[in-house]
Chains A and B, each alone.
Chain A
């Protein structure tokens, strides 16, 4: 699944653009987060990899900015919970629990990449 960030302007918020795209393309979008303010709106959706281009085009045709959101991916088979990545993350995507398991809150990741080359087991990718 690929994550797309949809950014709506003031005029567009009032139209059911997302539903139109879903109907038109026949692809289900998984809405992860929606945030609407009086002057703009943002929706984070998940789209199956193979439909990304079609969906992006469909939104852009309607004047909605659609950008692919990259984020941290963790290979749990390689991660040894050392924590080397933890001190590099400028926002708190990476934290640890009481038993020192490393926890990733991928949602928050801004894909800055600082943690990637700190991982000794190459468990991190964007």
Chain B
């Protein structure tokens, strides 16, 4: 599409105070009211924003040299292990590294937050000692003012869009998408919809290496595409850096997801210069036009089943329908802060304290994100299912005993006439019933049955067997229909292989 203005021209207007800057939400309204032609003519810049959990985040710090100097081998800040990817006193605080004394509560993200706040943190380090770096131990306290550099360096941030998560299992699960109640009891989503930075320039016409952005309350830069950048599926990501010393914890915050681990909430806003009419259309896209999938996180596989499509207008309403039932849906990223970030960025540009950049190189639009190469494929329960011998609640103990002998099995699964699981009877239960003179089958059925699903990794099934000290698991689908059984014998054979 032919360009109608350049970044240079926009910057000149900003300098003079003549540029028209709108937040993404204001642009959506304008395009809706007056159409993209007028919007493109009038508007110079559209500001976006998002503030969400971004796990692939961290900070590079440089400590300066001690006397005698140390070449740090391992280091901890407030008991969180810090990695040392580089030379003697360069460290990287990874957001997801957890405290060794308070795991799941405090981690790298919190260390970054504490340092930004100006808090004093405890640093411990050890080394093997060299001729040039003789020191082997170090214990000190530091604040951000003691650091030569304190740079946020995030290698995957700002997903263009993300799944909406729900859970079809019959137990609550704790994921990086938050707490998900059983039986599709709630849903969570991430991303700010119409404010989402990469969604507003989905072909990366204006974003790339060197793009100046809002990052954690100050300005930062895009370093290029992020890891797992997947533009063909609209799952683009960026790598960013910024000066932590100037950041503000209103827009960058340590966090932890129960039973998942720690992370960092990062606020990012990208200004999109309206260089042509196409960008006016794209920045004017509303919540209603941005779709994502509702995905069942109850299935622990790389390809999780999609339940339906949903748009961000529905998500932002707080309620969506899953399988004919209305459930509450939570945003995990802060929609309030997303809007605030877009507004602040707008203010900075209006005040001529923030200028736009043209990227030295744009984000790639054609790369693909491949799955992991696994030299040994992990097996799933589906590979081990064998047909189960079943009975109904009205059967006699005798007939169950006969089945056990005829099929030489130890477990008979009790089902109803629609093959739904009602319980389980083992050869031991039958033997005991005979010895005790119990007549009725219903008296010996175990009702609380531990089950597995075809998509459970075999390790998970083995864990269940060991944990409950049992020797078989009926395999059920998500409606409780019995598909078969896996036994500990089959499992051990496979795991040993």
Residues of A within 8 A of B (CB): 80-89, 95-96, 99-102, 117-118, 120-122
Contact = CB atoms under 8 A, between A and B. Distances in A.
Interface in B233-261: 253-258
A118 B178 CA distance: 6
B451 interface: no
Contacts of B256: 120, 122
Interface residues of B, number: 33
A84 B265 contact: no
Given A86-B318, A87-B327, A87-B329, A100 B178 contact: no
Contacts of B253: 80, 121
B263 A120 contact: yes
Given A87-B330, A120-B53, A122-B105, A96 B179 contact: no
Interface centre among B179, B188, B263, B265 (most CB of A within 10 A): B179
A87 B186 contact: yes
B337 A121 contact: no
Nearest to A89: B328
B332 interface: yes
Query: Chain A at the B interface: mostly helix, strand, loop or mixed?
Result: loop
Query: Chain B at the A interface: mostly helix, strand, loop or mixed?
Result: strand
B51 A87 contact: no
Given A118-B178, A120-B263, A81 B258 contact: no
Interface centre among B105, B327, B330 (most CB of A within 10 A): B330
Contacts of B53: 120
A104 to B, nearest CB: 14
Contacts of A118: 178-179, 258, 330
Nearest to A97: B336
Contact of B337 (A81, A85, A89, A117): A81
Contacts of B318: 86-87, 95-96
Interface string B316-339: 101000000001111111111101
Contacts of A117: 174, 179, 258
Given A88-B186, A117-B258, A120-B178, A83 B51 contact: no
A86 B179 contact: no
B332 A82 contact: yes
B190 to A, nearest CB: 9
Given A96-B318, A117-B179, A118-B178, A86 B330 contact: yes
B344 interface: no
Contacts of B329: 87
Given A95-B318, A100-B331, 15 more contacts: A80-B51, A81-B334, A81-B336, A82-B331, A82-B333, A83-B332, A83-B335, A84-B179, A87-B188, A87-B327, A88-B330, A96-B318, A101-B336, A102-B336, A120-B255
